[in-house]
């Protein structure tokens, strides 16, 4: 029974693939996510199914935190699927969207369920590449650009993961290595893992695809991208880094520095945005930055790893759920004329901030509890960053609500936009702290939140020019613009060179055997000239034949003397 459930959770999106392609068959998308939901509830942790003939000995199962990941990811996919019909039905290409949606869903569940290296890679690759189809759905130039950046970053991440997995397999000799076997990782392996999943997690330096993709993708897609797919990075780190087995001070420090920097820098970057989806993306970079830093800490302090991992899982689940809810909320509120949605949107926003008794407060409480034993320097830094992130997130959410207030009803509403599935998500978010330990949050946090809100209010009222002037100064995707400019310069330079070469070729449109009489002053230039003619020296018949003849002669001579 367990085996059947595990399989159906993984395969049901693929099974309904053909059924869902026709126009108006969006209901299959929602059905596809149901088995995963049931599996998360019914199948006990530690159960496994082995399929030796599939790929290289596939193993599916529910790992230690598998049920958590699976349940909340499936919930998000389910609700996103419910809304797909709403936003996508009118589009001609919606069949293509549903196809990629289901494939990415299956990949996502596959990552969570995979207990061996190859099926993990399969899930990660399928999810990553198929999400491209979701990002570019709109077909506008900016979406194509976002898709381009996304797909290249994803591909780099997948290649880095390939390197890491090959090294893990070669080292441990097992396709499903136990945590103990992971000890003894090399720098290259850990570096590849950090890069591979860092890209997915939006780690500073490789984060720039995230604001582009989140804002380009249609609402349901950005909800699952930001809520479910981003968490696969954490699953990967928890599965494959030697956490709790080995100290990796260097990589740990790097992750902590990058994570803390992201948590701090992403806040002003987000505040400068006008598009609420981009703002949410920067908020994701900040939150994931915190988690990257915590993973880095676990790499430095193996003794505390277990508690920290638990905190990361809960934090990630909370963040994913809240972020997904916010993204769907963006779609609902911009499309709705009533203000009910806007008011409800405040709930996930408050959860993000970490208001008392919210899932955010619970997540933060769990994290802080585990930070208390850490060595004072790094622990202190992290605690400080957490406080700053609280302020930053509050400001971000205040600005987000403000933006949503102006955007309320700005787009023509779909004829029928039910709030019920979305409210289900909000309900899950409200209930979440019950499982993670209800927490009022610390007094300091509360004071900071209120202070930040007051600050936001003051800014809103006075609109000081030295702050407001910054809005819109930072293009979404920040670094990518720089990179693109550099790329363009190189591209142009190359093109120019090619053009020059081409001109040269056109000037002497001759084969190699008929070089023009030119004042060529050196043998080298003559050779270069030959190279630039149409065939190129290697591929031209005459030279080649001579070469061959020479080699044959040489070898024959060797045959006579040596043999």
Partner 1 sequence: MSAGLNHWLLPLILGSSLIPAVLIFCLAEDNSRLRTVLNLAGAVAKMLLVGVMIWGVFNEQIYETRWTFAPGMDLVLHADALSVLFVTLSTVLWLLTTVYAIGYLKKTAHRSRFFGFFCLCVTATVGLALAGNLFTFVVFYELLTLATYPLVAHKGTAEAIRGARIYLAYTLSGGLLLLVGAVWLRAIAGPLEFSQGGILGSIAGLDPDTLSWIFLLLIAGLGVKAALFPLHGWLPQAMVAPAPVSALLHAVAVVKAGAFGIVRVVYDVYGVEFAADLGVLLPLGVIAAVTIIYGSIKALGQDNLKKRLAYSTISQVSYIALGTAILGPSATVGGLVHLVHQGLMKITLFFAAGNYAETLGVHHISAMDGVGRRMPGTTLAFTIGALGMIGIPPVAGFISKWYLGIGAAEAGALFWVMPVLLASSVLNAGYFLPILYRAWFKPASADWASEEPHRGRFETQGMLLWPPVITAGLALMTGLFAGAPFSPLEWVQLIAVREYR
Q: Which of 7, 14, 163, 510 binds partner 1 (CB under 8 A)?
A: 163
Does residue number 127 form part of the binding site for partner 1 (CB under 8 A)?
no
Label residue 11 exposed, middle or buried (CB < 10 Å: 0-12, 13-18, 19+).
middle
Least distance in angstroms from the C-beta of 530 to partner 1: 15
Determine if 185 is a binding residue for partner 1 (CB under 8 A): no
CB of 133 to partner 1, least distance (A): 8
Smallest distance from partner 1 to CB 562, Å:
5
Q: Among residues 52 and 376, whose Cβ is nearest to partner 1? A: 52
Contact between 357 and partner 1 by CB under 8 A: the answer reads no
C-alpha span between 166 and 415 (Å, rounded): 51
The backbone torsions φ and ψ at residue 206, rounded to the nearest 5 degrees and listed phi first, read -125, 30
Distance CA 382, CA 292 (A): 11
Query: What are the distances in angstroms from CA 439 to CA 268, 315, 363, 442?
Result: 28, 13, 9, 8
Q: Any contact of residue 562 with partner 1 (CB under 8 A)?
A: yes
Number of residues that bind partner 1 (CB under 8 A): 41
- Cβ at position 295, least distance to partner 1 in Å: 25
Q: How far is CA 268 from CA 73, 175, 285, 401, 466, in A?
A: 29, 43, 12, 16, 14
Cβ contact 332:420 at 8 Å: no
Beta bridge partners of 50: 59
Q: Which is nearer to partner 1, 103 or 305 (CB)?
A: 103
Residue of 67, 78, 125, 367 that binds partner 1 (CB under 8 A)? 125
Q: Is 136 in the site for partner 1 (CB under 8 A)?
A: yes
In the shown chain, the binding pattern of residues 531 to 560 toward partner 1, with x for contact by CB under 8 A and - for none, equals -------xx-x--xx--x--xx--xx-xx-
Among 69, 109, 121, 237, binds partner 1 (CB under 8 A): 121
Rounded-to-integer distance, Cα 162 and Cα 31, Å: 32
Applying CB under 8 A, which of residues 159, 458, 496, 507 lies at the interface with partner 1? 159
Q: Which of 170, 406, 412, 522 binds partner 1 (CB under 8 A)?
A: 170
Q: Between 71 and 97, whose beta carbon lies closer to partner 1? A: 97
Closest to partner 1 by CB, 50 vs 64, is 50
User: In whole angstroms, how close is the CB of 185 to partner 1 at the nearest point?
Assistant: 13
Residues 139-158 binding partner 1 (CB under 8 A) are 139, 151, 155-156, 158
Token pair 């030119």: residue: 518
What are the backbone dihedrals phi and psi of residue 269, each rounded to the nearest 5 degrees, phi first?
-60, -40
Least Å from the CB of residue 310 to partner 1: 31
3-state secondary structure of 51: strand
Binding marks (x or -) toward partner 1, 461..500, rule CB under 8 A? ----------------------------------------
* Site track 36-65 with partner 1 (rule: CB under 8 A), x = hit: ----------------xxxxxxx-------
The SS3 of residue 408 is coil
Closest Cα partner for 218 from 116, 282, 146?
Answer: 146
From the list 8, 96, 268, 440, which residue makes contact with partner 1 (rule: CB under 8 A)? 96
C-alpha 356: how far from its chain's center?
Answer: 29
Provide, rounded to whole angstroms, the least separation between the CB of residue 388 and partner 1.
Answer: 38
Contact 168, 182 (CB under 8 A): yes
Q: Is 413 exposed, middle or buried (0-12, 13-18, 19+ CB in 10 A)?
A: middle
CB of 130 to partner 1, least distance (A): 11
CA atoms of 523 and 529, how far apart (whole Å): 10
Q: Are 344 and 426 in contact (CB under 8 A)?
A: yes
| Beta strand extents in 15-126 (DSSP E only) | 48-51, 58-61
User: In whole angstroms, how close is the CB of 506 to partner 1 at the nearest point?
Assistant: 17
**Read out DSSP for 217-244?**
S-HHHHHHIIIIITHHHHHHHHHHS-TT
From CA 526, how far away is CA 497, in angstroms rounded? 19
In the set 2, 7, 64, 169, which binds partner 1 (CB under 8 A)? 169
Find the binder of partner 1 among 102, 129, 366, 386 (CB under 8 A): 129
Identify which of 494, 509, 394, 520 has the alpha carbon closest to the alpha carbon of residue 452. 394
Instruction: Return residues touching partner 1 (CB under 8 A).
Output: 52-58, 96, 118, 121-122, 125-126, 129, 136, 139, 151, 155-156, 158-159, 162-163, 166-167, 169-170, 538-539, 541, 544-545, 548, 551-552, 555-556, 558-559, 562-563
């Amino acid at each position: 029974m367990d085996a059947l459930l595990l399989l159906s959770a993984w395969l049901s999106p693929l099974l309904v693939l053909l059924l869902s392609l026709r126009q108006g068959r969006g209901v299959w998308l929602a059905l596809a996510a149901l088995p995963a939901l049931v599996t998360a509830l019914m199948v006990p942790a530690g159960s496994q199914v082995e399929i030796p003939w599939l790929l290289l000995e596939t193993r599916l199962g529910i790992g230690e935190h598998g049920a958590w990941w699976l349940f909340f990811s499936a919930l998000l996919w389910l609700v996103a699927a419910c809304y797909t019909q709403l936003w996508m039905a009118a589009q001609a290409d919606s069949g293509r969207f549903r196809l990629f949606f289901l494939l990415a869903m299956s990949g996502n569940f596959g990552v969570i369920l995979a207990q061996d290296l190859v099926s993990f890679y399969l899930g990660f690759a399928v999810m990553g590449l198929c999400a491209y189809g979701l990002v570019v759905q709109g077909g506008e130039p900016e979406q194509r650009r976002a898709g381009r950046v996304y797909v290249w970053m994803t591909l780099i991440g997948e290649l880095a993961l390939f390197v890491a997995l090959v090294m893990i397999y070669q080292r441990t000799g097992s396709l499903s290595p136990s945590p103990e076997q992971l000890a003894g990782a090399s720098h290259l392996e850990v570096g590849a893992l950090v890069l591979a999943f860092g890209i997915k997690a939006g780690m500073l330096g490789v984060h720039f695809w995230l604001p582009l993709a989140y804002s380009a993708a249609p609402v349901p897609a950005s909800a699952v991208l930001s809520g479910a797919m981003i968490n696969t990075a954490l699953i990967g780190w928890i599965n494959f880094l030697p956490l709790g087995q080995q100290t990796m001070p260097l990589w740990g420090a790097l992750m902590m520095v990058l994570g803390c920097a992201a948590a701090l820098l992403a806040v002003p970057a987000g505040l400068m945005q006008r598009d609420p989806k981009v703002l949410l993306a920067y908020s994701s970079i900040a939150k994931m930055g915190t988690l990257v830093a915590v993973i880095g800490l676990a790499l430095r302090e193996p003794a505390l790893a277990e508690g920290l991992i638990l905190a990361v899982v809960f934090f990630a689940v909370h963040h994913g759920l809240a972020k997904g809810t916010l993204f769907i909320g963006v779609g609902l509120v911009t499309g709705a004329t009533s203000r009910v949605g806007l008011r409800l949107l405040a709930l996930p926003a408050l959860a993000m901030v970490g208001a008392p008794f919210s899932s955010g407060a619970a997540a933060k409480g769990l994290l802080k509890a585990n930070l208390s034993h850490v060595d004072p320097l790094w622990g202190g830094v992290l605690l400080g960053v957490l406080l700053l992130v609280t302020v930053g997130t509050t400001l971000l959410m205040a600005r987000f609500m403000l933006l949503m207030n102006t955007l309320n009803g700005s787009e023509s509403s779909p004829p029928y936009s039910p709030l019920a599935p979305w409210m289900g998500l909000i309900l899950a978010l409200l209930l979440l702290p019950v499982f993670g330990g209800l927490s009022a949050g610390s007094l300091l946090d509360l004071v900071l939140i209120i202070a930040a809100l007051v600050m936001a209010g003051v800014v809103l009222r006075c609109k000081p020019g030295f702050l407001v002037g910054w809005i819109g100064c930072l293009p979404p995707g920040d670094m990518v613009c720089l990179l693109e400019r550099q790329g363009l310069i190189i591209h142009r330079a190359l093109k120019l060179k090619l053009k020059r070469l081409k001109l040269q070729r056109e000037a002497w449109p001759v084969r190699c055997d008929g070089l023009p009489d030119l004042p060529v002053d050196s043998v080298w230039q003559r050779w270069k000239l030959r190279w630039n003619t149409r065939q190129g020296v290697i591929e031209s018949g005459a030279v080649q034949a001579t070469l061959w003849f020479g080699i044959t002669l040489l070898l024959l001579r060797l045959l006579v003397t040596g043999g």
